Amino acid sequence: MNPEYRDLLIQCSYLAASVLFIFSLKWMNSPLTARRGVFSGVFAMLIGVGGTLLNPSVAVSQLPWIALAIMVGALIGVPLSLVPLTAVPQRTALSHAFGGLAAGLVGTAKYYLWIHEGGEMLTGFRTFAISAEVILGFLTFTGSLMATGKLQEILPGRPITYRGQLIVNFLTLGGAIACAVALVINPQWTFLFPILVILSLAFGVMLIVPIGGADMPTVIALLNSYAGLSAVAMGFVLDNKLLIIAGALDGSSGLILSIIMCKAMNRSFSNVLFGAFGTVSASAGSDAGGAVKSASPSEAAEIMEQADTVVIVPGYGMAVAQAQHRVRELYDQLTKRGINVKFAIHPVAGRMPGHMNVLLAEADIPYDDLIEMEEINPEMPQVDVVLVLGANDVVNPAAKNNPGSPIHGMPIIEADKARTVLAVKRSMKPGFAGIDNDLYTLDKTLMVFGDAKAVVGDMAKTLAGDSGMH
């Protein structure tokens, strides 16, 4: 192929892939177009890989190695894609780990390749880009592995802290940056490069261990941003425009998502990154101290049957139990009776933004009945029954009423304002933040203990039996 035409084809493929990546992010904003967004992203990646394979630097002799790498990636990626929806946050963190590792290894390989070739290619800017790529890539790698471990409960979810921790963290990061500056000044100081790599890997671990499990979804979004920035640096190192554009999109979207989640949790970046959320005792979140009252699924169903309005608050317990289809059955039985049923969606219910929306969409719940927190809260005093399905921290009144609570100030769904509260939980075990929930001890609250799938199924059966008798 004519070199000019080949270069034009490569640049056009990168441009097309970049446009498709932008549309992918746009379409992912709505459940109605999310599937289109996924296919757009996949197609963009295929075009980008195809354009890269046309690059004259890719020799025919390298194609078997590239094919082998693709096969290995597929063998790892396909099983990872089959995890349950409840495991998506840790699977996402693991993907970030692989992305960070790839960026770090590419930067390392390029540095030693150019050193071997005499070092003329290691200009100040390229050395700066390599250093940024290595720091961001390797800290993303180890940080994401730590986040995966905490979410998968392989590692303790509680914050791990020690005296002088912040100073040690800053010294570690400062040491890595100092090595990077020295390498920019003189790339031939090769003894500094392994130190840069080790400090970056260590900082990734040290960055995550003091962060509690409740903040981990926000941390994952931030690590996504770091992975994107490392891809931008890699794009400058490899002179690849697509990597620069895609990395910038990834980095900015991760940052925006982190900001959204921090606002939803009333948390600041400094709190999330350097705080120790969850270190309070389990009793710190509760002032109520009242007795817990319980009801059977059939009794709860009879209470809902007498209501005019029912608001369902889905949470992680519903996701773990995979109860969304039973929720649909309950929804159908209630709406048959002319009862107005809505779903109150907290932005960080579950483990990631949109977690509940995806589960309910899977069960074909009408999207118009999914109401965001800001819209449903003013209606709560007029709601007859609130059914809380495995949600915990996002409905805890301590966020409003207890200044000593670690979640104080976090916006919540104000289930406590409804006339009657039915809370479905396996036990009285605290939620992700590790604190008790004042909602469960209110006089208006009845606990319905058990697996959400079984409990909601029994509620739906009770209502179906009643309708059959009439």
The full set of domains in the chain, from first to last, is 85-274 (no CATH), 284-469 (3.40.50.1220)
| Least confident stretch, 113-117, 258-262, 343-347 | 258-262
pLDDT of residue 269: 67
pLDDT for residue 231? 92
pLDDT tens by residue, 74-83: 998 888 888 7
> Using CB atoms within 10 A of its CB, is residue 30 exposed (0-12), middle (13-18) or buried (19+)?
exposed
Could you give the 3-state DSSP secondary structure of residue 232?
helix
pLDDT of residue 329: 94
Q: What is the Cα–Cα distance from 286 to 437, expressed in whole angstroms?
A: 6
260-297 residues labelled b (16+ CB within 10 A) or e (exposed): ebbebbebeeebbbebbbbebeeebbbbbeeeeeebbb
pLDDT band at 273 (very low <50, low <70, confident <90, very high): low
Query: Is the pLDDT confidence value at 279 over 60?
Result: no
Q: What is the mean pLDDT of residues 109-134?
A: 92
Catalytic residue numbers? 393
Average the pLDDT over 322-326 and give the result.
91
- Over 60: is that where the pLDDT of 469 sits? no
Task: Check residue 144 and give its pLDDT.
Answer: 92
Q: Give the C-alpha separation, 95 to 97, whole Å.
A: 5
Average pLDDT rounded to a whole number, residues 241-256: 89
Mean pLDDT over the full length of the chain: 86
pLDDT digits (tens, 9 = 90+) for 351-370: 677 778 888 888 888 888 99
Say if residue 132's pLDDT is above 80. yes
Res 287 pLDDT > 50: no
Average pLDDT over residues 234-261: 87
Average pLDDT over residues 225-239: 91
Q: What percent of the chain has pLDDT over 90?
A: 46
What is the average pLDDT across 294-306? 93
pLDDT-derived band at 336, boundaries 50, 70, 90: very high
When mean pLDDT is compared across 75-84, 99-108, 177-186, 410-419, the lowest value belongs to 75-84
Per-residue pLDDT, 213: 66
Q: pLDDT of 387-418, one tens digit each? A: 999 888 889 898 888 877 777 778 889 999 99
Q: What is the pLDDT of residue 140?
A: 94
Statement: residue 468 has pLDDT above 80: no
The pTM assigned to this predicted structure is: 0.77
pLDDT at 131: 95
Alpha carbons 375 and 104: distance in angstroms, whole number = 44
> What pLDDT does 434 receive?
63
Question: Over 70: is that where the pLDDT of 19 sits?
Answer: yes
**How far, in Å, CA of 28 to CA of 253, rounded?**
12
- Is 283 a residue whose pLDDT tops 50? no
Lowest mean pLDDT across 18-32, 36-50, 169-183 = 18-32
Confidence of residue 5 (pLDDT cuts 50, 70, 90): confident
Residue showing tokens 């963190």? 93
Tokens of 268: 């600041």
Write down the pLDDT at residue 467.
Answer: 53
